[in-house]
Amino acid sequence: MAVKRAIAPRTTARIMAPRWRRHFEGWVFIGPVIIGIMAFQIVPILVSMYASLTNWNGLTSPEFIGVENYVKLVTDDPFFRTTVRNTLYFVAGSVPLTILVALGLALLCNRQMRGTSVFRTAYFIPSISNIVAISVVWF
């Protein structure tokens, strides 16, 4: 005759634990990154957005004026159109050209042809020499 073994009741502490308890270690590791992003990126962006909607010189209390600063920028600033035009030239011309040159250099590094090792060495020496110089200075 087979003996039935008693099965221990399944512990539900792990199953019923709140989600934050199950992932506590993850939050501990990601916490400093979140605090850094909040302190050095999100808060300054929000403060800048608020300051752009006020009349404030940094010494007096800010006076809320809405989008008047932006209207004045578009209508009264003589350099606004030149700045927008230069930005569009840069985005349309410089960025694609830079990407194409970088892609071409990456393809040259990846090819198996004569002189590739010399090209790779010449291409990567500035990156490596910087790290070596810093290591020599600090150690």
- Indicate if the pLDDT at residue 92 is higher than 90: yes
Spatial CA neighbour of 107 closest among 119, 96, 95: 119
The pLDDT value given to residue 5: 63
The pLDDT value given to residue 95: 92
User: What is the pTM assigned to this prediction?
Assistant: 0.55
What DSSP character marks residue 2?
P
Sorted by sequence, the CB contacts under 8 Å of residue 98 that are 6+ apart come out as: none
Distance separating alpha carbons of residues 104 and 114, to the nearest angstrom: 17
